[in-house]
Amino acid sequence: MFRKIMMASVMFVATAAHAQERWMSIPAAPAMPEAAISGTASVNGILMYRAVYGDADGTPILMIHGGLAHADIWAAEVADLMKDYKVIVADTRGHGRSTNDGSEYTYGLLAADYLALLDDLGVDKVHLVGWSDGANIGYSITQTNPARLASHFAHAGNVTLDGIDPAVETNEVFGGYVGMMAGDYVAMSPTPDGFDAFVGDISGMWATSKPGGLEALATSTVPTLVVQSQYDEAILMDHSKLIAETMPSAELLVLNNVSHFAAFQAPDEYTSAIRAFIER
């Protein structure tokens, strides 16, 4: 069982000129490396895009992106991690290249999609790296199918509605992210004209559906790193602290000088944090 840490802090390396500013913008992700497997799989009533990178033995890493995004946002992290791990990425239902069958979005449904995808790939257990909605999907799997998770790197998740910073609704950086994802949606989606309706549906999930609340995590045995960015636009620091304090198998890691979009802003350091947690 992991030792409880009230707050562990990693000071990301940055130049003096950028140390206080990089969290205020979102760089574009690089191109994805070459995949061993890619394309759509028929799972849980939808066509779900998935790709597998690397051929290492051992427990694979499953990386789940945040709301409105797609698997390719992980390009920098995948390029590094695939050297030593098999890495699985996918587009969540309705996101990127994946379809939706008209079902209402809930974290329970999205978690079921990913479990079905692992079954389709013949994978029993993964190290899950989840960002934002990806972390929430991980929290759902933690509750319903903990045996499928060797560990959970849970960045910027929330398990109650009061974990959301209300200022996110008018935050310029977060608004810029939505604009970036709008362009990617048009380029990737089988329904390229549907972004506005898609945002409405996902926003409805954000406002109502949460993965079980704190009580559901109080007996979790999945080794979990609750990851919070210093300048997160969407998730409150106190909420991440509370999750880490509630879960007996969790620690808290604070990423300095980055925001909700740390994987874009500091990919090398972000990957190092993933590696350090998994390898421990």
Residue 99 maps to which CATH number?
3.40.50.1820
Q: Is residue 174 part of a domain?
A: yes
- Number of domains within the chain: 1
DSSP string, 45-72: TEEEEEEEE----SS-EEEE--TT--GG
Q: How far apart are CA 226 and CA 224, in angstroms?
A: 6
pLDDT score of 212 = 86
User: What is the gyration radius of the CA atoms in the chain, in angstroms?
Assistant: 17
Give the position of tokens 């209300």.
166
Range of the domain at 139: 8-13+30-279
Q: How far apart are CA 69 and CA 57, in angstroms?
A: 29
pLDDT score of 18 = 46
pLDDT score of 6 = 28
**Contacts of residue 77, Cβ cutoff 8 Å, sequence gap at least 6:** 63, 129, 263, 267, 270, 271, 274
pLDDT score of 8 = 37
**Contacts of residue 269, Cβ cutoff 8 Å, sequence gap at least 6:** 10, 12, 13, 255
Helix crossing, 133-144 with 107-121: angle to 10°?
80
pLDDT score of 4 = 33
Q: Is residue 23 part of a domain?
A: no
Instruction: Collect the ranges in the chain with pLDDT lower than 50.
Output: 1-19
pLDDT score of 12 = 38
Task: Report pLDDT digits (tens) over 220-253.
Answer: 999 999 999 999 999 999 999 999 999 999 999 9
Question: Distance between terminal CA atoms of the chain?
Answer: 12
- Stated pTM of the model: 0.93
Q: Is residue 86 part of a domain?
A: yes
8 A C-beta contact, residue 136 and residue 130: yes
